[in-house]
């Protein structure tokens, strides 16, 4: 067996370098995804202010005193936003022609499953890919089913999204957004905390250094519970519960109050929050947490969005930015909260108007009641006299002024246009005719009152998000702001790693290495910094150090195939064939249809000296 010093340097380095470059440009699970692919959200690192795991009551704790509200809320899309997969199973199957894979969702022995198998049918035009088949047990569903539904499965405690979704408005299964043209099965799509946070309650933090590893249950309650909008309210439950039990004869034994873990978690600052009575910024934050995305979002140092509690300032956890240009955003690109902020209704009403002005969070009108329900909301401001003159024969205000448009949040679905346009037909036509000419991008804080809180760090990481998307001029802005931000915060690991990547792209290997090393001293669980530093070390011939860095990162993110392939190629070229095979197999455990991994495994099986993935 050859030692590290005996590796044929140029050949291996070329292979590792090629793999690293591929992972940075096209691999869906790229080794540098935080800095070039996702919104700049603080990772779950060794430096985090960790959320202590504790039992938190769900909506059932409120049912004793608020039974009617509890019953009506239980039927809403928010209350049914997630749950056990078997309880929300939509059985079905379909063949994805581009990849040639047949997917099937079914129940077996009270458990929910998804199977996948590549089929070849030349008559139907299905000829892609090599053989692959398997199944995953589904743990949870995500989505009420009104627009769509997806499922989550656990692989070695790592939580993933299924590669297929049910699209209710089209009445069919299809690939998950962004993978309709995929030729390989994307089985390694992490279930990120920002998605879980807005569909579940009592979310637990993932294991340190990971995005999606949950040794225990990832969340305590399906759907959005009362506590997500009104606060945990344990002391309220304790005080009211004793009164309810004595006066109504309710049983304490089956209530959350009987749980000693919950009893121990009671705090002095857990009174019930009524969002309508909060200041406008704190009131709006309750809805904005999940109904606004923005162009870029930057979590604040040591904070996570899932730590937000009703009554808090959202800006303590995350800062949002919008891309402001010479022309308005098309309606399809707007999230609900942003669209409402552009409406004349909201602009003229000011802080008086908010989501709760039109929506009852505790109940949803039936299809037959919907038109009159929302008409009443409109007339609360516009009055009956206006209604008598304005198309009195057309009682459905929303059908004209809030038409359905393609949804930004869920592909293959539609959502109402919350801009509440006076003349939707004309303005939507104007929208479609916008030439889309490039203009100098500019980032602004949202909402506007948060502008004074935005820091150079925020702008640096927000611009870095746009740079990944290929926005002209964004890379320059990102670099300028990163250099300023690092000067001001020389021990911020996120900034250091981001600037290191910029230096790496410029070919400044010495500067990049120093920045990565500094970042890893501060945060040794930074998987992106470790992986990219490993690439630099491999290119410099320091393969043993590169492998050590990659191994540490791959242990925490085993679904990032590019890292595992780098390891397999390096170990194979170093003569450590058996260990290389183990890493190829681990890649295939999480990414079973990755052709490069399958070819490498096949080549190594045929000829132990073959370290090629083509």
User: What CA–CA distance (Å, rounded) separates 191 from 189?
Assistant: 7
- For residues 534-542, give the mean pLDDT: 95
User: Are both 525 and 551 inside the same structural domain?
Assistant: yes
Does 471 map to a domain?
yes
403 to 217, 329, 406, 417, 428: CA distances (angstroms): 40, 17, 10, 6, 10
Q: What is the pLDDT of residue 348?
A: 93
What confidence category does residue 53 fall into, taking pLDDT thresholds of 50, 70 and 90?
A: low
Least Cα distance to 254 among 246, 245, 266, 264 occurs for 245
Does 509 map to a domain?
yes
User: Are both 284 and 396 inside the same structural domain?
Assistant: yes
Say which CATH number the domain at 522 has: 1.25.40.10
- Inter-residue contact 88 to 141 (CB < 8 Å): yes
**Lowest-pLDDT range, 239-248, 267-276, 565-574?**
239-248
pLDDT over threshold 60, residue 173 = yes
Q: What is the pLDDT of residue 439?
A: 60
Where is pLDDT greater, at 25 or 129?
A: 129
User: Are both 290 and 408 inside the same structural domain?
Assistant: yes
What are the DSSP calls for 129-152, one per residue? S---EEEEEEEEEES-SSSEEEEE
User: Are both 405 and 286 inside the same structural domain?
Assistant: yes
User: Are both 188 and 293 inside the same structural domain?
Assistant: no
**Lowest-pLDDT range, 157-171, 249-263, 569-583?**
249-263
Does 60 map to a domain?
no
Does 472 map to a domain?
yes
What confidence category does residue 132 fall into, taking pLDDT thresholds of 50, 70 and 90?
A: very high
- The model's pLDDT over 551-577, given as tens digits with 9 standing for 90+, comes to 999 999 999 999 999 999 999 989 999
Angle, CA 142 vertex, CA 137 and CA 143 arms, to 5° = 140
User: What CA–CA distance (Å, rounded) separates 461 from 34?
Assistant: 10
What confidence category does residue 597 fall into, taking pLDDT thresholds of 50, 70 and 90?
A: very high
User: Are both 480 and 425 inside the same structural domain?
Assistant: no
User: How far is C-alpha 212 from the geometric centre of its chain's CA atoms?
Assistant: 11
User: Which of 157, 172, 197 is the last residue in one of the domains?
Assistant: 197
| DSSP code of residue 187 | -
User: What CA–CA distance (Å, rounded) separates 531 from 516?
Assistant: 10
Does 216 map to a domain?
no
| Percentage with pLDDT > 70 across the chain | 79
Least Cα distance to 123 among 141, 97, 148, 142 occurs for 97
Does 192 map to a domain?
yes
Q: Which single residue is written with the structure tokens 């121990």? A: 264
Q: What domain range includes position 504?
A: 4-47+450-606
**CB contact set of 609 (below 8 Å; sequence gap of 6+):** none
What confidence category does residue 238 fall into, taking pLDDT thresholds of 50, 70 and 90?
A: confident
pLDDT over threshold 90, residue 111 = yes
Average pLDDT, the chain: 84
Does 223 map to a domain?
no
User: Are both 461 and 427 inside the same structural domain?
Assistant: no
User: What CA–CA distance (Å, rounded) separates 309 from 298?
Assistant: 18
Does 259 map to a domain?
no
User: Are both 362 and 334 inside the same structural domain?
Assistant: yes
Q: What is the pLDDT of residue 26?
A: 34
User: Are both 428 and 491 inside the same structural domain?
Assistant: no
User: Which of 168, 197, 226 is the last residue in one of the domains?
Assistant: 197
Angle, CA 597 vertex, CA 596 and CA 603 arms, to 5° = 90
Sign of the alpha-carbon dihedral angle for 38, 40, 42, 45: positive
Angle, in degrees to the nearest 10, between helices 527-539 and 561-573 = 30
Angle, in degrees to the nearest 10, between helices 9-25 and 543-556 = 30
**Lowest-pLDDT range, 36-45, 98-107, 214-223, 299-308?**
36-45
What are the DSSP calls for 546-582, one per residue? HHHHHHHHHHH-TT-HHHHHHHHHHHHHTT-HHHHHH
- For residues 135-148, give the mean pLDDT: 96
Q: Is 347 exposed, middle or buried (0-12, 13-18, 19+ CB in 10 A)?
A: exposed
Where is pLDDT greater, at 270 or 481?
A: 481
**Lowest-pLDDT range, 47-61, 283-297, 516-530, 531-545?**
47-61
The tokens describing 81, both together, are 């936003």
What are the DSSP calls for 373-422, one per residue? HHHHHHHHHHHHHHHHHS-TT---HHHHHS-EEE-SSSTT-EEE-TT--S
What confidence category does residue 22 fall into, taking pLDDT thresholds of 50, 70 and 90?
A: very low
* Phi, psi values for residue 157, rounded to 5°: 75, 0
User: Are both 91 and 149 inside the same structural domain?
Assistant: yes
The tokens describing 485, both together, are 């931000």
Sign of the alpha-carbon dihedral angle for 523, 529, 535, 536: negative
User: Are both 425 and 463 inside the same structural domain?
Assistant: no
Peptide bond into 25 cis (omega under 30): no
3-state secondary structure (DSSP) of residue 92: strand
**Lowest-pLDDT range, 19-33, 57-71, 400-414?**
19-33
- Inter-residue contact 289 to 308 (CB < 8 Å): yes
What confidence category does residue 71 fall into, taking pLDDT thresholds of 50, 70 and 90?
A: very high
| DSSP code of residue 87 | G
Q: What is the pLDDT of residue 453?
A: 97
Q: 571-584 in b/e burial notation, b at 16+ Cβ within 10 A? A: bbbbbbbebbbebb
User: Which of 138, 168, 197 is the last residue in one of the domains?
Assistant: 197
Where is pLDDT greater, at 476 or 21?
A: 476
- The model's pLDDT over 299-354, given as tens digits with 9 standing for 90+, comes to 999 999 999 999 999 999 999 999 886 344 556 567 888 889 989 999 999 999 99
175 to 36, 186, 301, 408: CA distances (angstroms): 24, 10, 35, 16
Angle, CA 514 vertex, CA 509 and CA 520 arms, to 5° = 120
| Percentage with pLDDT > 90 across the chain | 68
C-beta neighbour count of 167 within 10 angstroms: 18
- For residues 270-298, give the mean pLDDT: 92
pLDDT over threshold 50, residue 7 = no
What confidence category does residue 224 fall into, taking pLDDT thresholds of 50, 70 and 90?
A: very high
pLDDT over threshold 90, residue 408 = no
Strands 148-155 and 133-142: antiparallel
Where is pLDDT greater, at 87 or 433?
A: 87
pLDDT over threshold 60, residue 44 = no
Q: Edge to edge, what strands does the sheet with 318-323 contain?
A: 296-299, 318-323, 443-446
pLDDT over threshold 90, residue 119 = no
User: Are both 425 and 456 inside the same structural domain?
Assistant: no
Domain tally for the chain?
3
3-state secondary structure (DSSP) of residue 535: helix
pLDDT over threshold 50, residue 210 = yes
């Amino acid at each position: 067996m050859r030692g590290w010093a005996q590796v044929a340097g140029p050949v291996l380095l070329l292979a590792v370098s090629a793999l690293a470059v591929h992972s940075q440009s096209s691999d869906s699970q790229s080794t540098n995804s935080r800095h070039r692919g996702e919104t700049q959200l603080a990772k779950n690192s060794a430096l985090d202010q960790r959320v202590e795991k504790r039992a938190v009551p769900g909506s059932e704790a409120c049912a004793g005193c608020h039974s009617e509200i509890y019953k009506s809320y239980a039927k809403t899309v928010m209350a049914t936003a997630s749950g056990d997969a078997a309880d929300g199973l939509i059985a079905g199957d379909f063949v994805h022609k581009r990849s040639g894979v047949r997917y099937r969702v079914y129940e077996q022995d009270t458990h929910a499953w998804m199977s996948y198998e590549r089929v070849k049918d030349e008559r139907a035009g299905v000829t892609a890919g090599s053989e692959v088949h398997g199944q995953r047990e589904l743990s949870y569903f995500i989505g009420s089913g009104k627009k769509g539904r997806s499922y989550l499965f656990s692989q070695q405690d790592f939580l993933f999204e299924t590669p297929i979704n049910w699209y209710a408005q089209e009445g069919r299964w299809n690939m998950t957004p962004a993978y309709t043209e995929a030729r390989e099965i994307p089985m390694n799509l992490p279930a990120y905390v920002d998605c879980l946070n807005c569909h579940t309650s009592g979310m637990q933090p993932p294991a340190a250094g990971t995005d999606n590893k949950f040794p225990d249950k990832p969340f305590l309650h399906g759907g959005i519970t009362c506590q997500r909008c009104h606060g945990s309210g344990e002391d309220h439950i304790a005080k009211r519960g004793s009164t309810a039990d004595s006066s109504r004869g309710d049983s304490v034994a089956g209530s959350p109050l009987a749980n000693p873990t919950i009893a121990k978690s009671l705090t002095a600052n857990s009174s019930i929050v009524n969002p309508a009575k909060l200041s406008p910024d704190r009131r709006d934050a309750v809805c904005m947490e999940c109904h606004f995305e923005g162009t870029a979002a930057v979590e604040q140092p040591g904070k996570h969005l899932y730590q937000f509690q009703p009554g808090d300032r959202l800006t303590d956890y995350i800062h949002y930015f919008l891309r402001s240009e010479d022309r308005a955003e098309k309606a399809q690109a707007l999230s609900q909260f942003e669209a409402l902020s552009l409406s004349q209704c909201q602009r003229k009403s000011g802080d008086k108007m908010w989501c709760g002005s039109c929506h009852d969070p505790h109940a949803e009108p039936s299809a037959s009641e919907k038109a009159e329900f929302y008409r009443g909301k409109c007339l609360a401001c516009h009055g009956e006299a206006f209604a008598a003159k304005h198309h009195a024969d057309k009682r459905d205000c929303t059908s004209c002024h809030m038409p359905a448009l393609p949804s930004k949040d869920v592909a293959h679905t539609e959502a109402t246009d919350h801009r509440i346009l006076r003349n939707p037909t004309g303005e939507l036509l104007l929208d479609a005719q916008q030439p889309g000419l490039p203009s100098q991008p500019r980032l602004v804080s949202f909402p506007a009152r948060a502008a004074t809180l935005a820091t150079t760090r925020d702008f640096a990481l927000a611009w870095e998000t746009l740079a990944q998307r290929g926005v002209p001029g964004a890379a320059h802005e990102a670099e300028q702001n990163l250099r300023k931000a690092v000067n001001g915060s020389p021990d911020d690991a996120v900034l250091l790693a981001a600037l290191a990547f910029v230096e790496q792209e410029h070919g400044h290997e010495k500067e990049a290495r120093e920045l990565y090393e500094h970042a890893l001293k501060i945060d040794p669980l930074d998987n992106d910094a470790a992986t990219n530093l490993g690439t630099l070390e491999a290119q410099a011939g320091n393969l043993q150090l590169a492998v050590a860095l990659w191994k540490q990162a791959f242990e925490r993110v085993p679904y990032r195939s590019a890292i595992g392939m780098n390891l397999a190629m390096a170990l194979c070229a170093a003569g450590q064939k058996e260990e290389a095979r183990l890493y190829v197999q681990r890649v295939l455990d999480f990414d079973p249809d990755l052709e490069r991994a399958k070819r490498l495994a096949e080549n190594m099986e045929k000829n132990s000296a073959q370290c090629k993935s083509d």
